[in-house]
Amino acid sequence: MPRSPPGSTTSDSYASSSEDWSDLDGNAISDEDMADSDASLGNDEPFGAHLPEAPQSDVDIRREADFELKRQSFVDLLARQLCRAHLEQELRSRLTARQAGAQLRDFWRRHSNDNSRDLQDSVVGFLDSNRRESLEHMVAALRCMLAEPMPDNDLAWLLSLEILHLPPLHRLQQAAQQAVFFSLCDKVGREAAAMVASRATDLAFNTFSIPALRLLWPLLDDDQRRKMQRWLFEYRMGTAEEPTEKSSSSSQKPRYG
């Protein structure tokens, strides 16, 4: 049997050579260690799958910090307005308009500095069982929904929008209100959906258009998100229709979709 050329190895020598592998500290690496290492890499994952994401720029960090402050303020103010709406409904159902107005003013003088959670605790003491349950469920659900981050692809799309290519503010706010209303209508009923949609959009659009849409985005279902994206694209192309229906009174779907 011919010898292997000098410097070459046979398959048998490859099979036994793993005993000579060592780490950077000179410690021997066993076959079991090699197997564990291979398993940890994952045969089906592409190279770099576990590499850390690129760090955010200073601009991104400032933008996200600013938005988080806006989001917290938005959630707090929306909860306060819903508390006020439920309390006003309750008082007007039991008192004359003049008496209800006087009690409402007195209540707000005493609780104007309460945070939204303390305010809610005070309001529910005035409500009947149905309104109390409605307020508690509504506020709890909205807090959960509004805490959800915007999907990465939706956020990238939103941040890519150019303000000059957006509809006028009143048209955008009307479309957003309709989108919120129709997203919530089947879940909570028309009255509650209208209450949330009108107050949420009024509050959100106290800021610029793009942050306003980002604040409201968690309230939209997938269908309304697609319709809003398509409507904004069609507006940019000059083919969008006016969103003419009123969300609080129409049973039809909005035309902006």
Q: How far apart are CA 220 and CA 230, in angstroms?
A: 14
Q: Mean pLDDT lowest for which of 180-189, 196-205, 248-257?
A: 248-257
Are 158 and 140 part of one and the same domain?
no
**Whether pLDDT at 23 is above 90:** no
pLDDT digits (tens, 9 = 90+) for 130-159: 999 999 999 999 999 999 999 999 999 999
Instruction: With respect to residue 116, please indicate whether it lies within any of the assigned structural domains.
Output: yes
User: Is residue 24 pLDDT above 80, yes or no?
Assistant: no
Q: How far apart are CA 72 and CA 135, in angstroms?
A: 19
* DSSP H stretches of helix in 147-208: 152-160, 169-188, 190-204
Asked if residue 34 belongs to a domain, the reply is no
**For the residues 87-96, what does the mean pLDDT come to?**
94
Please check whether residue 85 lies inside any domain of the structure: yes
Q: Is the pTM of this model over 0.85?
A: no
Query: Which domain does 204 fall in, by range?
Result: 152-237
Report the C-alpha gap between 114 and 16 in whole angstroms. 75
* Domain termination residue (choose one: 97, 115, 146): 146
Residue 15, pLDDT above cutoff 50: no
In a domain, 231, yes or no: yes
* Per-residue confidence (pLDDT) for residue 58, from 0 to 100: 85
